[in-house]
A = this chain, B = another copy of it.
Amino acid sequence: MSLADSVLNGDRLALARVLTQIENDTPDGRAALDLLFPRTGKAHLIGVTGAPGTGKSSLVNRLALHFRTQNKRVAIVAVDPSSPFTGGAVLGDRVRMKDLSGDNGVFIRSMASRGSLGGLAQATAGMVQVFDAAGYDVIMIETVGAGQSEVDIARLAHTTLVVEAPGLGDDIQAIKAGILEIADILVVNKADRPGVENTEKALKSMLELAHPTQRVYSHHGKYMSVALPIEANTDMWIPPIVKTIATEGNGIPELAEQISKHAEHLRISGDWAARERARLESEMETALQEKLMSQFRERVPQVRYDEIMRQVFERNLSPGEAVKLLTNGRTK
């Protein structure tokens, strides 16, 4: 029996082994992915992103426990490439063990690798497919939300939660304007802390900028503001703001409710299929780029590449001219 078959049969050890192969991008890992891919497409992928200190991990933990009460199988992929100082990924596992270990319906995987961020996004995509094929109903992808690459990782998801917490200052909001745009649901965690009203207010005003609910029309030379009929438009999803206290479980059922509403919205509006396609297209593009580059490396001898690079360093050839030289002769 192949490793992929063992994964499909619910063998957790085989699952762990395949995940490692994919993290290390081995030929065996790629082969397993090819075998498992036809079984994917059923899971609900939930991205959870937020700054350090927002309590993301506790939130993910609690959500997992909640989904378990609904008898859903839950996988968690924790991605934290930005913490050379804290080694957060490893620590995270240990904290979680307490609540979720021993439950066969839960599988937690931290990405401890310190490779390139692009590789990280690709490895995460592969892991998510393995969990999906293995029959996990909900897959949560947790990222720190500090950079573009983590946004890319979050983009794997059907539903993206952006987690905030009171007391992180106003400027942090400004920085995260880009991340707010990918939010399907906004979570204000640590909602028992002072300043929760300010955080909520700031998020609301940013949401209004991003999703205007009123439009100004000119009518006989006079301008009038008209509320947009949001309810009538099922294609439009206004990200709700949900307050939680993850450490105590407060607000978790409400959050889970919004997550399932969003999934429903995606299916009704056709966005579920659209997101699947966009994800597969970008995955194809990455794989294609990689393949074309490796074919190029096979075709063009390293000495020739180095010689051309030397001329670029000496500014005798521009990078554009160098690329033309290297790609015109197809075989060498």
Which B residues are in CB contact (< 8 Å) with A223?
none
Q: How many copies does the complex hold?
A: 2
Min CB distance A130 to B, Å, is: 12
Residue pair B312, A280 in contact (C-beta under 8 Å): yes
Which B residues are in CB contact (< 8 Å) with A175?
51-52, 144, 146, 172, 175
Q: Mark A300-327, 1 if CB is under 8 A from B, else 0.
A: 0000000001001101111111111011
Q: Mark A207-229, 1 if CB is under 8 A from B, else 0.
A: 00100000000000000000000
**Contact with A284, one of B281, B315, B323 (Cβ below 8 angstroms):** B323
Min CB distance A292 to B, Å, is: 4
Task: Decide yes or no whether A151 CB sits under 8 A from chain B.
Answer: yes
CA distance A117 to B178 in the complex (A): 12
User: How many interface residues does chain A have, given as a range?
Assistant: 35 or more
Residue pair A172, B172 in contact (C-beta under 8 Å): yes
Task: Decide yes or no whether A9 CB sits under 8 A from chain B.
Answer: no
CA distance A171 to B288 in the complex (A): 39
Given contacts A53-B174, A174-B53, A327-B292, contact A313 B83 (CB under 8 A): no
Task: Decide yes or no whether A276 CB sits under 8 A from chain B.
Answer: yes
Given contacts A293-B289, A319-B287, contact A171 B169 (CB under 8 A): yes
Which B residues are in CB contact (< 8 Å) with A52?
171, 174-175
CA distance A277 to B151 in the complex (A): 29
Which B residues are in CB contact (< 8 Å) with A101?
none
Which B residues are in CB contact (< 8 Å) with A236?
none
A38 to chain B: closest residue by CB: B315
CA distance A295 to B278 in the complex (A): 23
Residue pair B280, A177 in contact (C-beta under 8 Å): no
CA distance A287 to B171 in the complex (A): 36
A168 to chain B: closest residue by CB: B171
Min CB distance A144 to B, Å, is: 8
Task: Decide yes or no whether A103 CB sits under 8 A from chain B.
Answer: no
Q: Mark A65-89, 1 if CB is under 8 A from B, else 0.
A: 0000000000000000011110000
Chain A residues at the B interface, C-beta cutoff of 8 Å: 30, 33-34, 37-41, 51-53, 82-85, 117, 144, 146-149, 151, 167-169, 171-172, 174-178, 181, 209, 276-277, 280-281, 283-284, 287-289, 291-293, 295-296, 309, 312-313, 315-324, 326-327, 330
